[in-house]
Each structure stands twice: as C-alpha cells, then as structure tokens.
C-alpha cells in the first residue's frame, strides 16, 4: 500500500512524480533507521533477516527512483516495485514489491482520490492472494486491511480530504499492528511456532505501518500542511462484517 494521494482539492501532494520519489526516499530512510528493530522483531519469530532485506531493498528502490528522468507516479511505483522484487528476495520481495507493480496499473490516469483508492485495494488484494493470508493470520495484512478499508471509507463515504483519509488509514494500520501481538500466526515463517508466536508483533505489518507513516508525512509536507489529528479513541470502522472477522481469528 502506498502512494495514496491527492484529490482535486489538494493537488501537489503525491500526484506528481517528484513527491512520490520524495516519499520513497523517506521510506528508505525510515526503514534503515528501524532496521535493527525490524530484525529484532523477526528474530523472535522468524529468521532475523527482515530488517536487512527491507533496508537493502528500499535503499536500492530510492536510488532507482532518483535516477528516473522526469517520472510520473505510476513509473515511480513500478520502478520501486520491480527493484524491491529484485533486491528484497524471500517472501517480502513479491509481497511488498510485486504487489506494488500490479497496483501501479491503477494509476494509468495519474493519482486522484479515486485512483488512490483503487491502487490501495489492488495492493491489498495482491498481498492477500500471494501470501494466501487474511486478517487474523499475524501478517502484514493485519496492518493493510484496516488501513485500506479506512482510507476507502474516508474518501467515499465521509468525503474527507485525501490527506485526512491517509491520516486515518495510518491510525488504523497502527491499531492493526497492535492487533498482531496477541494473536497466533497462521501464515509466514512465524506460523511454524504455533502458539509460541502469540505475544509477538509481526515485522511485516510493522514495516507496512512505517511505509504508510512516511507517505503521510511526505504528503503533508508536500501540501505544506500539518499531519491531521486523528482521534484514536473513536476508530472509523468502515465495514462491520470485515472487522468482525478481524477480531475473531479462527480457533485452529
């Protein structure tokens, strides 16, 4: 999930390629800064390579994005996705990078509030399909699903500005990451731990949150605006049935 942006009312956020490149650079810096933390999270439940692989991949992606000549957002997304696919490896390459390549197809006509929603939905769908994961499996899907649903509802139903919608999506992702702690992993390497995975925060979901946070910060920056305040105590639940599934992972 990334590069949501901007409606007519807020042109200049992530609708031009330079801003998207800036967002990618911000993500690369953030992932590098959190590298050891991500590796620590992964060593508790996986093979301790998530931080290093993601940092290497995003550094290469930022470089590739910088090298583009007068890029549009779609080209930046596709380039970043392909670079992540090639550099991150393992399962994270296809999940973070491959999904970005596929989702970038939604940006044929540039970044608008509408295409950003389509982009986000396609990204989530690709991650779910490729990883065969759903909410409650203790994966990055737990961060992305509430974020994407919240973003969509904020744009389509609540008619919020893209920036406010993105802020709400980040808040939702944050709670999604917290939700991975008390549940048992069903997918990914952590699932081999069975019940021992309970109590651990998922590193993939954590990375997804960092990416969203940097998108929001870059978008706010591009609009010369403060990051909108979101009331975390009154979450926007976009789809009751989906959320019901979320809080009730199957018992097996």
11, 189, 235, 237: residue in contact with other proteins (rule CB under 8 A): 189
> Considering the complex, what minimum distance in angstroms separates the CB of residue 127 from other proteins?
11
- Does position 101 interact with other proteins (CB under 8 A)? The reply is yes
From residue 211, how far is each of 23, 32, 55, 250 by CA, in Å? 9, 12, 12, 28
DSSP state of 194: G
> Considering the complex, what minimum distance in angstroms separates the CB of residue 207 from other proteins?
16
Chain residues 129-188 in contact with other proteins, contact rule CB under 8 A: 130-132, 187-188
Chain residues 67-96 in contact with other proteins, contact rule CB under 8 A: 82, 85-91, 93-95
Distance between CA atoms of 88 and 229, rounded to whole angstroms? 34
- Does position 106 interact with other proteins (CB under 8 A)? The reply is no
- Does position 98 interact with other proteins (CB under 8 A)? The reply is yes
Which of 82, 106, 80 lies closest to 4, judged by CA? 106
Count of positions on this chain that bind other proteins (CB under 8 A): 23
Residue 241: how many other CB atoms lie within 10 Å? 7
Chain residues 21-40 in contact with other proteins, contact rule CB under 8 A: none
Residue 137: how many other CB atoms lie within 10 Å? 24
Distance between CA atoms of 25 and 40, rounded to whole angstroms? 23
Which residues bind to other proteins, rule: CB under 8 A?
82, 85-91, 93-95, 97-98, 101-102, 130-132, 187-189, 191-192
């Amino acid at each position: 999930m990334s590069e949501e942006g901007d409606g007519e009312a807020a042109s200049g956020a992530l609708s031009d390629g330079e801003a998207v490149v800036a967002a990618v650079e911000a993500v690369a810096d953030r992932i590098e800064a959190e590298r050891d933390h991500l590796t620590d999270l992964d060593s508790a439940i996986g093979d301790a390579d998530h931080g290093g692989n993601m940092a290497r991949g995003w550094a290469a992606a930022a470089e590739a994005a910088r090298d583009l000549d007068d890029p549009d957002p779609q080209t930046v997304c596709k380039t970043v996705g392909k670079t992540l696919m090639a550099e991150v490896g393992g399962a994270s390459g296809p999940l973070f990078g491959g999904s970005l390549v596929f989702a970038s197809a939604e940006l044929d006509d540039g970044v608008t509030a509408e295409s950003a929603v389509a982009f986000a939905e396609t990204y989530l769908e690709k991650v779910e399909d490729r990883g065969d994961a759903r909410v409650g499996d203790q994966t990055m899907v737990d961060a992305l699903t509430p974020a994407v649903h919240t973003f969509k509802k904020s744009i389509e139903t609540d008619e919020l500005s893209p920036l406010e919608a993105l802020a709400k999506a980040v808040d939702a992702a944050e709670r999604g990451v917290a939700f991975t702690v008390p549940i048992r992993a069903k997918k990914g390497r952590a699932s081999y731990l069975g019940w021992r995975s309970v109590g651990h925060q998922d590193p993939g979901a954590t990375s997804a949150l960092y990416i969203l946070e940097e998108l929001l910060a870059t978008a706010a920056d591009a609009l010369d605006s403060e990051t909108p305040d979101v009331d975390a105590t009154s979450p926007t639940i976009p789809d009751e049935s989906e959320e019901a599934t979320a809080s009730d992972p199957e018992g097996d």
